[in-house]
Amino acid sequence: GESVGLHLPTLSVQEGDNSIINCAYSNSASDYFIWYKQESGKGPQFIIDIRSNMDKRQGQRVTVLLNKTVKHLSLQIAATQPGDSAVYFCAENRGLDNAGKSTFGDGTTLTVKP
């Protein structure tokens, strides 16, 4: 069946280093991907998205890379800060008809050490 999964459940980095969080998906029909950040006790918060017709998109300190050949996407955070400590989820959508049925991975917990 379809699934969206992350390679590592936890990631620990030093403050100021770059972080890379990976996600693999299995459904080749997926055409829209989103990264969310969830801090303790809060709902997920949108970080950045990318459509399947792109392979890279940049935001403020974050970059998402999409490799459709191997069904893999990653979230890169530059100069990681303590405030970046959270659980990060990737999610995939398959077209407008399924817009509400985002499939989420289990999340990667990012810990930033001062």
Partner 1 sequence: GAGVSQSPSNKVTEKGKDVELRCDPISGHTALYWYRQSLGQGLEFLIYFQGNSAPDKSGLPSDRFSAERTGGSVSTLTIQRTQQEDSAVYLCASSLGTTYSYEQYFGPGTRLTVT
Residues that bind partner 1 (CB under 8 A): 32, 34, 41-46, 49, 89, 91, 93, 96, 99-107
Smallest distance, Å, CB 111 to partner 1? 15
Give the residue with the Cβ less far from partner 1, 15 or 106: 106
Give the residue with the Cβ less far from partner 1, 16 or 95: 95
Smallest distance, Å, CB 17 to partner 1? 25
CA of 114: how far to CAs of 12, 14, 40, 61, 77, in Å?
11, 6, 19, 18, 16
Residue-wise DSSP of 45-65 = EEEEEEETT-SEEE-SSEEEE
For residues 11 and 19, the answer to whether their CB atoms sit within 8 Å is: yes
Give the residue with the Cβ less far from partner 1, 34 or 66: 34
Smallest distance, Å, CB 93 to partner 1? 5
